[in-house]
Amino acid sequence: MLLSIFIAALLTSLAGCIVLIHTQHLHARLSMDTSNGVQKFHANPTPRIGGLPVFLGMVVAALVSQFAHDHVGKLFGGLLLAGLPVFLAGLAEDLTKRVSPLWRLLAAFTSAGLAAWLGGSILPKLGIPGVDYVLQAFPAVAILFTVFAVGGVCHSINIIDGYNGLMGGVALFVLAAFGYTALAVGDLELLVLCLAGAGAIFGFLVWNYPRGLIFAGDAGAYFIGFLLAQIAVLLVNRHPDAVSPWFPLLVLIYPVLETLFSIYRRKKRNVPAGLPDSLHFHQIVYKRLVRWMVGSQEAKHLTQRNSKTAPYLWGVALFSIMPALLFWKTQWMLQLCAVIFVFVYIWAYRQLVTFRAPSVLLLRKAYLDLNGRSRKLLNKKGN
């Protein structure tokens, strides 16, 4: 049953992406993402509606799970129903380019509220004395906090969706961690959600990385963020004695910290929080470590540079996910690892911004000869 759910989601997403890519001339006027903008690092106009096949893959997986185990299908179906507002708001932005970040965030809050109402997806604790008492004594506060947290995770996943394979790869790592924990605590329903999500995202990732033939868009990023946030909340809600709230926080700390740091950075620079910029961590990695590696301004070289950015950030995500898996039962270790990650993230950001990145991370350099062909040089001092 588990394998069939994964395959159903994978094949549906895979086939959906193929159809959208091969028919892009029919929907190009609505679906194309141009290369203009401070957060655009791709070479050619590309369909940005890859979230649609991901969502359809989840729907088909939910139907398969309903036939196999109806109790699993009920949780699955309720989650998809709750996720409709944030998915549709993202899809509207992908097609019209006119839905503001505020409205998308409000849609994420709406989806989180529906999930709390339909499936009881509410954080019962945070692992912080005093705060836990308030959450348990005042259910309304717990609901409001959960809605805010889920909306924040949705937005954070959208923020890291900047390069080929980056968001999809991080999401797969997160789902693997959540799936492992769901299996460890014997929660079949959450394990099914993880497998279905992994299948749907992998079907999309085949076409997104490394060539960037289709993008997830806001619909894909916000819906995937909603899925990850809901599984995180449900893990703690359904197993409060076994799973610390610091476990899903550590697993998701890279995109969450990226969002918080971006808010701080923009506030310090007196820049509106909703205004796009090119100073996100993944963009700094591109500019300082990857931009000089491959070739010219030709489209194929731009795509190569784009795709070489994601593995750096996968490593950043794994820097928190691996210790989370090792110490998922020990709350104080999870807290310590979270603090260490914050300090390392800020240190790494400062090093990159000030051009003091370790030379070992600069794999190679390139220059153009008179004919415009790229020649790779060994990264030696003085070259």
Sign of CA dihedral 275, 280, 282, 284: positive
Query: For residue 70, is it within any domain?
Result: yes
CB atoms within 10 A of CB 91: 21
Query: For residue 368, is it within any domain?
Result: no
* Residue 289 to residue 287: CA distance in whole angstroms: 6
pLDDT at residue 381 greater than cutoff 70: no
Residues 31, 49 contacting (CB under 8 angstroms): yes
Query: For residue 151, is it within any domain?
Result: yes
Confidence band, pLDDT 50/70/90 cuts, at residue 295: low
Query: For residue 316, is it within any domain?
Result: yes
Choose from 68-77, 108-117, 281-290, 358-367 the range with maximum mean pLDDT: 108-117
Query: For residue 168, is it within any domain?
Result: yes
Query: For residue 378, is it within any domain?
Result: no
- Bond prior to 276 in cis (omega within 30° of 0): no
What is the extent of the structural domain holding 78? 2-359
Confidence band, pLDDT 50/70/90 cuts, at residue 265: confident
Query: For residue 382, is it within any domain?
Result: no
pLDDT at residue 259 greater than cutoff 60: yes
pLDDT given for residue 1 in this prediction: 74
pLDDT given for residue 356 in this prediction: 80
Query: For residue 291, is it within any domain?
Result: yes
pLDDT given for residue 189 in this prediction: 92
Q: What is the mean pLDDT of residues 239-267?
A: 93
Confidence band, pLDDT 50/70/90 cuts, at residue 38: very low
Prediction pTM value: 0.89
Q: pLDDT, tens digit, for every residue of 318-343? A: 999 999 999 999 999 999 999 999 99
CB atoms within 10 A of CB 378: 8
Number of domains in the chain: 1
pLDDT given for residue 338 in this prediction: 97
Top pLDDT among 267 and 20 is at 20
